[in-house]
Amino acid sequence: MTRTHSAWLALSGLLALAGCTSGAARETPIDSLAPVGLAPGERLQVAASTTIVADVLAQVGGDDIILLTTLPPGADPHEFEPTPREIEALSQADVLFISGLGYETILQRTLAQASVAPTTVALSEGLGAEVEAVADPHVWLDPRNVMLWVDNAARALGALDPARAEEYRSRASTYRAELEALDLSLESLVAKVPADKRKIVTDHQALAHLARRYDLEITGSLIPGPTSAAEPSARQLAELLSTMQAEGIRAILLASPENESLAQSLAVDGAFRLVRLYVESLSGAGGPADSYVELMEYNLAQIVEALNSP
């Protein structure tokens, strides 16, 4: 396979996600992965479907991989359409890592168009039963799930590049410890919210894993489903507004910028505040959520502040 720098540049911004819809990308089980024939000194060329997936891979792969994020920070995963050149460029990757569990539907279609599709690995392998329980593919909003991502990333990279397997395992162990500390810290932060004030409303159903992990109750959502592409009826919005008023809920958690105008219309009518979160993507470099750890710290801080506000 010819590897060129220009081909990798062509991958920038490639492959948005259909985001939050059913269906699964074509995936190779980690235990079925075989070593890539790398020349001495050559590194794996690794593509990641989202900035969040990429951050986890960067922590595990370090300088031993060449990492490309197919979706730039802050990009809308629901609107981006890859060009034929970008689709073809994907064939240059040794491996593509995705979240999986039906999150990357457009990615599945894109891979079908590539002349030589790369090996595709789902970091969420092994989370099937847990995800079915909440019907929400945004599994990374529970750090315990990302701990499994880290283990899966180390296993997959080590299988593809056995010569560096120990380095991958070592970085994974270090990062897993950081995630364990993060989880405990977030748990302590949410404990500052009285139990009777832990009711939340979201723009769409993207926070089920976060809510379950940190004992929050999702009372409703503007869009009744795990995709932000749906359209709620006037009756649904009126019922949600009534519920929020009855329950004393004063904030709407905005997981997708696509739904901001809809949330603003309800906020104006009911005098609710909008709390903007980072869910689908990291922020840009230097932003408040430019790593997975910072994303979780930022989101939980915003939520706790909103719930404790009068």
Fold assignment, 190-308: Rossmann fold (3.40.50)
Tokens found for residue 37 = 């024939």
Task: Note the pLDDT of residue 99.
Answer: 92
Residue 81: the pLDDT is 60
Q: Do domains 5-186 and 190-308 have the same CATH topology?
A: yes
| 217-223 vs 199-204, strand pairing mode | parallel
Kindly give the parts of the chain with pLDDT less than 70. Answer: 1-25, 70, 74-90, 107-116, 130, 132-134, 224-230, 258-259, 266-271
Report the alpha-carbon distance of residue 281 to residue 283 in Å, rounded: 6
The pLDDT, as a whole number, for residue 293 is: 98
pLDDT at 5: 36
Residue 204 has a pLDDT of 74
First-to-last alpha carbon distance for the chain, in angstroms, is 61
> Is the model's pTM score more than 0.95?
no
5-186: CATH topology: Rossmann fold (3.40.50)
- Break the chain into its structural domains and give their ranges: 5-186, 190-308
